Structure 1
Amino acid sequence: MSTIDETREFIPVRIAILTVSDTRGADDDRSGDTLVARLEAAGHVLAARAILRDDRDAIAGQLRDWCRDPAVDVVISTGGTGLTGRDVTVEAHRDVYEKEIDAFGTVFTHVSMTKIGTSAVQSRATGGVAMGTYLFALPGSTGACKDAWDEILRWQLDYRHRPCNFVEILPRLDEHRRRK
């Protein structure tokens, strides 16, 4: 069973939030606002925030820029994970990934099933690693962002979470680049 080990010190991570939408702007980005509020309430740092249209190259470019930025540990995008022709966020993420975190999508689907039943099958939420940075693509709905944060990311981005978490291996994500 997972627990929080209060004897370990909390380590804040620096998280960038990317909203992918053809219709949302800074004034009505409820899913982005939800993620920012949750990450800050948990004690993490908002490293950057942007809104982009559904454009695969632009999304992948932004992801790569943030992965190269030493001030960003994690990128969470919201939007563009569905099945329509304009939904290209998952493809953009996979253009950038060095490794995919396969179980992230599986666990997200499990969490979603308890909330929205078989409608969860329409999500293509994904997670991966690139250039020593974690990347997660979440659906654009506020409920999906809450579920992903509250049930998965909140715990995996907390260094005190046991038996393991993403933060404790963060310094080793790019060790293959340092080997000679």
Structure 2
Amino acid sequence: MAHLASDTLTPLHIAVLTVSDTRDESTDTSGNYLVEQAKASGHEVVAKAICIDDKYQLRAQLSQWIADPNIQVVLSTGGTGFTARDTTPEAFEPLFDRQIEGFGELFRHISFGEIGTSTVQSRAFAGFANGTAIFCMPGSTNACKTAWTGILQEQLDSRHRPCNFAPHVAPVK
């Protein structure tokens, strides 16, 4: 599997979506954290948006980014809980060509060490659509830190061995 890693970083084009009825640019600590970490890791953040917890508006935003040949990865924060307004999984999963089951499983495993059994209320998930990798995590900044430092930082780094997601995303056109 070493063929899935490279000796040099391949910067990925990333879009960050915050799902929230209450946050704006000045209070979007989770989305801003993901932007900062992606840039610090050498990636290019090419889009950022805040979208209300509405299944159809979320699906429209994600569909636009999936169809954009300049976006290879979407990092989404929020809307993965159990309230009536948390509809990110229901909005996004029908658009997936393939699930990345291990992302949610590993997120909850890591999160268990931080928040105990409350992690069962996380519906973190991921998948691929049209060559775009989509990672969805809870809306708290701490959850985004858990996902970034525990999974995404390595898995979006083309140098990470034995494998990573960089060679699986569509090339930028």
Show the counterpart of 2:88: 89
SS of 1:84's equivalent in the other structure is: coil
Letter in structure 1 aligned against 2:165 = F
Query: Contact 1:60–1:95 (CA<8 Å) still a contact in 2?
Result: no
Aligned counterparts of 2:73 and 2:107: Cα–Cα separation in 1? 17
Letter in structure 1 aligned against 2:139 = G
Aligned counterparts of 1:87 and 1:158: Cα–Cα separation in 2? 30
Show the counterpart of 2:78: 79
Percent of residue pairs bearing the same amino acid type: 50
Question: Please, what is the CA RMSD of the aligned residues?
Answer: 1.5
TM-score normalised by the chain length of structure 1? 0.90
User: In the TM superposition, what whole-angstrom CA distance separates every residue of 1:99-124 from its partner, at most 9, and x where no partner exists?
Assistant: 11111110000110111111111100
Aligned counterparts of 2:167 and 2:72: Cα–Cα separation in 1? 12
Letter in structure 1 aligned against 2:101 = D
User: In the TM superposition, what whole-angstrom CA distance separates every residue of 1:104-154 from its partner, at most 9, and x where no partner exists?
Assistant: 110000110111111111100000000110011110000000110111000
Query: Contact 2:73–2:169 (CA<8 Å) still a contact in 1?
Result: no
Show the counterpart of 2:26: 27
Alpha-carbon distance, 1:171 to partner: 4.1
Show the counterpart of 2:130: 131
Show the counterpart of 2:44: 45
Show the counterpart of 1:122: 121
Runs of 5+ unmatched residues, structure 1: 173-180
Alpha-carbon distance, 1:98 to partner: 1.0
Q: When the two structures are aligned, how many residues end up with a matched partner?
A: 168
